[in-house]
Amino acid sequence: MRYPATLILGAATVLSACAAGPDYRAPQTASLGVPATYYGEAAGAKPAPSPAPSDADLAQWWTRLNDPTLDGLIQKAVANNLDIAQAQARLRQAREALVQANAAFFPQINASGSAGKNYRSGTSGFQLDSNGNVIGSSANRWSSAYSAGADASWEVDLFGGIRRSSEAARADYTASGFDLASTRTAIISELVSNYVQARLGQEQLRIAKETLANQQDNYDIARWRLQAGLVSSLDQEQARAQLAQTTATVPQIENSVRAALNRIAVLTGEAPGEATRALEQAKPIPAAQNDIAIGIPADTLRQRPDVRAAERTLAAATARIGVAQAALYPSLSISGNIGTSATAFRDLTDIVTGGVFGRIAQTIFDGGRLRAQVRSQRAATDAAFAAYKSTVLTSLEDVENGMAALSAAQQRAEQFAIAYEASNNSAILARSQYQAGLTDFQTLLTAEQTLLSARNSLAGAQSDQVLAVSQLYSALGGGWQTMDGRPQ
């Protein structure tokens, strides 16, 4: 054969075009059990499915709460949060792993060189006269030695094992990008939740202090009426107990506010305490806007970074089946070397030697280890598919729960607003009637307790609306669409 090298390389090219293992295709939504519409909308939450939310709507959904303080906190958290920093580091690590995987496509070339002196002892290198005396040296005891060389090796990707390894590394890299996006959405959601909890606590403190002022008046009135002999000490003791019970709630509320502020500090990458001092000034609970575009389940699969990360993990696992299968087949590697040596540096190019070698290797017997690796990787792929499907179903569950929570919070807020108005009117009437001696203190006590409960319930329902909006936007995959290094 006149051109064996050309034929070998041609055959290797043809074989490498057929990579071992299955070609990955993303699962269709039908195989994942994804419905055409959300049950919450079909059951009457909306008259018809709403349009899909745009990336712009999802990217910074919290700005719809119209709270500049919250906007600033989220910007700080995105820049400084340590969980996000860890996810960014893992993304960089995955990028370098991809570079390493792609490097296997190219030859590996190494070069070496050396220089030194050789020493030779004895007199064999000296000339003697007829009497045995040394009359001169035929050579120096020290001699120079120089060498230089290079070698190269290249593994031909006969059955696509390297290509599948590169596919897996690229899928891992993309999945790491979506993991970073998932971390960002989770941090934003947690920050919004703690911010709302802090504002709710501040509102509850305001309610408690206003209630304490009224209850102090009631206690004073009961004490005066007792001194006037109009009532028994029962009214005074009931008023004193009510005042103490309300006072006892203040430290608990203050503790919940402090815990929320401490968590906000950590989420923004700072130590608790001084970092959130500005938030200690009470502000209202943000107002929620309830007109949220939901879209259809297929939209959620596109928007949710955790779903897309799970799909990329499945792609990586599938590609690794090909890596394992390629190890079953023969491997072809080509290597070569070139070198020279001399006793003088100027003579290094006088004699140059080298060679090119081809090596084919095939595992004959390994006790079933390689085939077990293939089966193991197929099992890992099955697990990755199950994890992907579980993530899909969980994402749909999150959206359904978010819609239900928002609907319930809206209804509760409407009813608690009515309850607050009625309780406030009732408390005003009971207070004036007690002062006039037209009713007993137990009636006033009940009216005051009902009013306090209604005010706290209304504040809780308002915060629940905001939390439900946050829950729904997070379930839809909002908060990462404009991030730097957005995965594709």
- Closest by CA position to 242, among listed 438, 423, 444, 429: 444
Give all domains of the chain, ordered by start, each with its CATH number.
Answer: 29-103+157-328+363-475 (1.20.1600.10)
Task: List Cβ neighbours of 277 (8 Å cut-off, separation of 6 or more).
Answer: none
Task: Provide the 3-class DSSP secondary structure of residue 149.
Answer: strand
Rounded mean pLDDT, 333-341:
91
Give residue-wise pLDDT tens across range 201-234: 999 999 999 999 988 888 888 888 788 787 778 8
Give residue-wise pLDDT tens across range 427-457: 999 988 887 888 888 888 889 899 999 999 9
Q: Which amino acid is at 255?
A: N
> In which residue are the tokens 């002999």 written?
229
Task: Provide the 3-class DSSP secondary structure of residue 334.
Answer: strand
Task: List Cβ neighbours of 92 (8 Å cut-off, separation of 6 or more).
Answer: none
Rounded mean pLDDT, 35-58:
70
Mean pLDDT lowest among 15-29, 115-129, 236-250, 434-448: 115-129
Task: Provide the 3-class DSSP secondary structure of residue 32.
Answer: helix
pTM of the model: 0.86
- Closest by CA position to 347, among listed 151, 149, 150, 146: 146
Give residue-wise pLDDT tens across range 172-188: 999 999 999 999 999 99
Q: Report in angstroms the alpha-carbon separations of 35 from 31, 44, 305, 392, 435.
A: 11, 16, 20, 11, 63
CA end-to-end span of the chain = 49
Task: Provide the 3-class DSSP secondary structure of residue 429.
Answer: helix
The b/e string for 398-427 (b: 16+ C-beta within 10 A; e otherwise) is bbbebbbbbbebbebbeebeebbeebeebb
Mean pLDDT lowest among 2-6, 72-76, 154-158, 349-353: 2-6
